[in-house]
Amino acid sequence: MTKQKVAIPSFKDMKKEGKKIRMVTAYDYHTAALVDQADIEMILVGDSLAMVMLGYDSTVGVTMEDMIHHIKPVVKGAPNTIIIGDMPFGSYNVSCEQAVINATRLMKEGGCDCIKLEGGLAVADKVEAIVKAGIPVIGHIGLTPQTSSQLGGFKVQGKNIEDAKRIVEEAKALEKAGAFMVVIECVPSAIGKLISGSIGIPTIGIGAGPDCDGQVLVTHDMMGMYGKFTPKFVKKYANLSEIIINAFNQYSEEVQSGSFPDEKYSFGMKEEILKKLY
């Protein structure tokens, strides 16, 4: 049976029925097309593209133009998967008006189905404004990479009682503001469980334990294609870097030795024409 795009309101039903929601990232047509053939309901065109596609040290430098440039081919490649456009740093913090204008650009110019932005209480007014403009919104709390310097780096969040309570309040504020889902990053599993049981909208964990309503991983991390840093919460399902490097080296040796291209990969010519040629 062909995969069907899940309607956004149905994610709440999946939570109620205890059916886990599966999300991965993609930033190009080819990867999106592969995800579209797998049992994965959602693709996040994350601002993580800064690091895994563009080689930046953080997500801060990504622009609206970068995001739109990468969302478009993903939308083309995965017509049967919900596509989330990530709002880049600085594109929604100034005012509700700025947030609505940029969320609208991701939808109109990129063609995604919904948007994600980082932050809880501080962005609840922006979430409300974007939802009122007719755009489905996903929140993102816990470790928020765009503001990681403010959080003291890429660290587990919510380890003391004040922070733990604040993160739970942020999730509730996002639900109240109209978000239809919330990503929870890098918190103790107990917080993932507490939030998932405290709000009616689905939670998607990334380093937030097994009790979230779904999970997300960065594709380059899970496929072993990004070697700079691997967080504890990443399980590597493949080691594509090794496979690709081995293939490049085999090609290199065969070109050097002359064993590639052999007859199988070369074009022949009719004998009579060949005779005239030499």
Interface size with ligand KIV, residues (CB under 6 A): 11
Q: Strand, coil or helix: what is 45?
A: strand
Side-chain-facing half-sphere of 64: CA atoms under 13 Å: 14
Which residues are annotated as catalytic? 185
Which one among 31, 48, 91, 157 touches ligand KIV, defined by CB under 6 A? 48
- 242 appears as a binding residue in the annotation: no
Distance CA 205, CA 193 (A): 10
- 118 appears as a binding residue in the annotation: yes
Q: How many of the other CB atoms lie within 10 Å of CB of 175? A: 20
Closest separation in Å from C-beta 184 to ligand KIV:
9
Which one among 44, 82, 87, 100 touches ligand KIV, defined by CB under 6 A? 44
Binding mask 219-258 for ligand KIV (x = CB under 6 A): ----------------------------------------
Could you tell me which stretch among 43-51, 128-136, 147-155, 232-240 binds ligand KIV (CB under 6 A)?
A: 43-51
Which one among 41, 47, 113, 128 touches ligand KIV, defined by CB under 6 A? 47
- 275 appears as a binding residue in the annotation: no
Which one among 87, 124, 206, 212 touches ligand KIV, defined by CB under 6 A? 206
Residue 261's alpha-carbon distances to 194, 247, 251, 255, in angstroms, are 60, 15, 10, 7
Query: Which is nearest to 67 in space by CA: 81, 46, 51?
Result: 46
Closest separation in Å from C-beta 205 to ligand KIV:
10
**What contacts 24+ positions apart, CB below 8 Å, involve 7-10?**
8/82, 8/113, 8/114, 8/136, 8/180, 9/180
Nearer to ligand KIV, 34 or 276 (CB): 34
Closest separation in Å from C-beta 108 to ligand KIV:
21
- 116 appears as a binding residue in the annotation: yes
**DSSP calls for 117-185:** --BSGGGHHHHHHHHHTT--EEEEEES-GGGTTTTTSS-----SHHHHHHHHHHHHHHHHHT-SEEEEE
**Buried-exposed string 2-20: b where 16+ CB fall within 10 A, e elsewhere:** eeebbeeeebeebbeeeee
Could you tell me which stretch among 40-48, 129-137, 226-234, 244-252 binds ligand KIV (CB under 6 A)?
A: 40-48
For residues 45 and 67, is the Cβ–Cβ distance under 8 A? Answer: yes
Q: Does 62 bind ligand KIV (CB under 6 A)?
A: no
Span 4-33, contacts to ligand KIV by CB under 6 A:
25
Phi-psi category of residue 55: left, alpha or beta, with phi > 0 → left and psi -120 to 50 → alpha: left
Binding mask 77-116 for ligand KIV (x = CB under 6 A): ---------x------------------------------
- 198 appears as a binding residue in the annotation: no
Which one among 46, 142, 192, 224 touches ligand KIV, defined by CB under 6 A? 46
Q: Which residues are annotated as a binding site for Mg(2+)?
A: 47, 86, 118
Positions in the binding site for ligand KIV (CB under 6 A): 25, 44, 46-48, 86, 140, 183, 206, 216, 218
